[in-house]
Amino acid sequence: MAMRLKDIHAVVTGGGSGIGAAIARALAEEGARLTLLGRRLDALEAVAATIPGAITVPADVTDRASIDAAFDAARAAHGPIGILVNNAGIAPSAPFARVTAEAWRTTMATNLDALFDCCQAALPDLLAAPAGRIVTVASTAGLKGYGYTAPYVASKHGAIGLMRALAAEFAATPLTANALCPGFTDTDIVAKAVETITSRTGRSEAEALAELTKHNPQKRLITPEEVAAAAVWLCLPASASVTGQAIPIAGGEVM
Measured from the CB atom, is 174 or 223 closer to ligand NAI?
A: 223
CB 57 within 8 A of CB 7: no
- Sequence-separated (6 or more) residues with CB below 8 Å from residue 101: none
Length of the chain, in residues: 255
Work out the angle between the directed axes of helices 64-78 and 114-128 (0-180°, nearest 10). 30
Q: Which stretch binds ligand NAI (CB under 6 A): 23-31, 37-45, 124-132, 163-171?
A: 37-45
Contact between 14 and ligand NAI per CB under 6 A: yes
Q: Which of residues 83-102 bind ligand NAI (CB under 6 A)?
A: 87-91
Sign of CA dihedral 214, 219, 222, 226: negative
What count of Cα atoms within 13 Å lies in the side-chain half-sphere of residue 219? 3
Measured from the CB atom, is 108 or 123 closer to ligand NAI?
A: 108
Secondary structure (DSSP) of 126-191: HHHSTT-EEEEE--GGGTS--TT-HHHHHHHHHHHHHHHHHHHHTTTSS-EEEEEEE-SBSSHHHH
CB 180 within 8 A of CB 249: yes
Q: Which of 187, 208, 246, 248 binds ligand NAI (CB under 6 A)?
A: 187
Measured from the CB atom, is 23 or 131 closer to ligand NAI?
A: 23
Q: Which of 182, 244, 248, 251 binds ligand NAI (CB under 6 A)?
A: 182
Contact between 17 and ligand NAI per CB under 6 A: yes
Site pattern 38..77 for ligand NAI (x: CB under 6 A): xxx-------------------xxx---------------
Contact between 247 and ligand NAI per CB under 6 A: no
User: How far apart, in whole angstroms, are the C-alpha atoms of residue 119 and residue 48?
Assistant: 23
Shortest distance in whole angstroms from residue 67 CB to ligand NAI: 9
- Catalytic residue IDs: 152
Pairing assessment for the beta strands 83-86 and 55-58 based on DSSP bridges: unpaired
Measured from the CB atom, is 59 or 166 closer to ligand NAI?
A: 59
Measured from the CB atom, is 11 or 61 closer to ligand NAI?
A: 61
- Contact residues for ligand NAI, defined by CB under 6 A: 13-14, 16-20, 38-40, 60-62, 87-91, 110, 137, 139, 182, 184-185, 187-190
